[in-house]
Amino acid sequence: MQKKKIHIKWWTDNRFWNFKKKYEKLFIVLNYCVFVLLCIFIFCNPFPYTTAITNISFYMAIGIAVFLMILNPGAFTFKTPFTYPLIIFFLWSLLSIFWALNVENTINDVCGRLLNDVILFFLLINFFNSRKRLDILTWIIALSAAFFSVISIVYYYFIAGNSITSDRFSFLIRNEPNAAVELPVNFIGTLNITAILFCLYFFFFIQ
């Protein structure tokens, strides 16, 4: 009579739990590391010339999160109301590469931007999973928007030399006779609307 093979998930093995208990403090530190790295990424994301900081913080957060997920998969969740819509949208975007007019651009947008946004969503779900951390996240977004707006205004009117009485903010900045750079007005508006909503939340609901 053949013995039935019993398949045991490795994260339910006693050796794994002993290992996890032994290095529990390390896991807590790594969890806080991902949290801090994501905070740095979110705060620096609106600012120009911070690509190195945002890339290092984002991909380090992903690497540590994957390491934690391998060692403790039960602590991570992908069950949210947006999981299936995001997966369907991503697969549809991936499929659109085959009939895209600019294949190279589409691949860059889907695999370089959309995929990163999906990963960021699940990182936020798993590492900003308490009321305190969510409050910190809202403060980071509000402060980042405030600094970004003030720095943009100072640069536009005082450094670039535009007239505060005749030049509308976000108009073309002419650095050279044949070159013009436009400020990302829509981005500024989107960022500030989000920050204003968070500030109203703090003003009316946080005592």
Q: How confident is the model over 62-67, as a mean pLDDT?
A: 92
Q: Indicate whether 140 and 205 sit together in one domain.
A: yes
pTM: 0.78
pLDDT (0 to 100) of residue 64: 93
pLDDT in tens, 168-204: 666 554 554 443 454 555 677 778 888 888 888 887 7
Give the end of a domain, one of 92, 110, 128.
Answer: 128
18 with 57, same domain: the answer is yes
Assigned domain for 54 exists: yes
Instruction: Assign 3-class secondary structure to the chain.
Output: CCCCCCCCCHHHCHHHHHHHHHCHHHHHHHHHHHHHHHHHHHHHCCCCCCHHHHHHHHHHHHHHHHHHHHHCHHHCCCCCCCHHHHHHHHHHHHHHHHHCCCHHHHHHHHHHHHHHHHHHHHHHHHHCCCHHHHHHHHHHHHHHHHHHHHHHHHHHHHHCCCCCCCCCCCCCEEEECCEEECCCHHHHHHHHHHHHHHHHHHHHHCC
Instruction: Calculate the alpha carbon distances from 33 to 30, 68, 201 in Å.
Output: 5, 11, 27
Task: Say if 137 falls within a structural domain.
Answer: yes
Q: What percent of the chain has a predicted confidence (pLDDT) above 70? A: 78
Which of 6-15, 33-42, 78-87 bottoms out in mean pLDDT, i.e. has the lowest?
6-15
Domain boundary among 58, 76, 94: 76
The pLDDT score that the predictor gives to residue 99 is 86
Hunting for tokens 């390491």 — which residue is that? Answer: 67
Same domain, 71 and 93: no
pLDDT at site 176: 46
Count how many domains the chain has. 3
Note whether 196 and 148 are same-domain residues: yes
Mean pLDDT of all residues in 150-166 = 78
Same domain, 98 and 122: yes
Structure confidence at residue 104 as a pLDDT band (50, 70, 90)? confident
* Residues 6 or more apart in contact with residue 31 via CB below 8 angstroms: 68, 127
Strands 179-181, 173-176: parallel, antiparallel or unpaired by DSSP? antiparallel
Question: Would you say residue 7 lies in a domain?
Answer: no
Note down the domain range covering 46: 12-76
Residue 110 lies inside a defined structural domain of this protein = yes
* Residue 4 belongs to some domain of the structure: no
Statement to judge: residues 160 and 134 lie in one domain? yes
Residue 1 included in any domain: no
Determine, yes or no, domain membership for 67.
Answer: yes
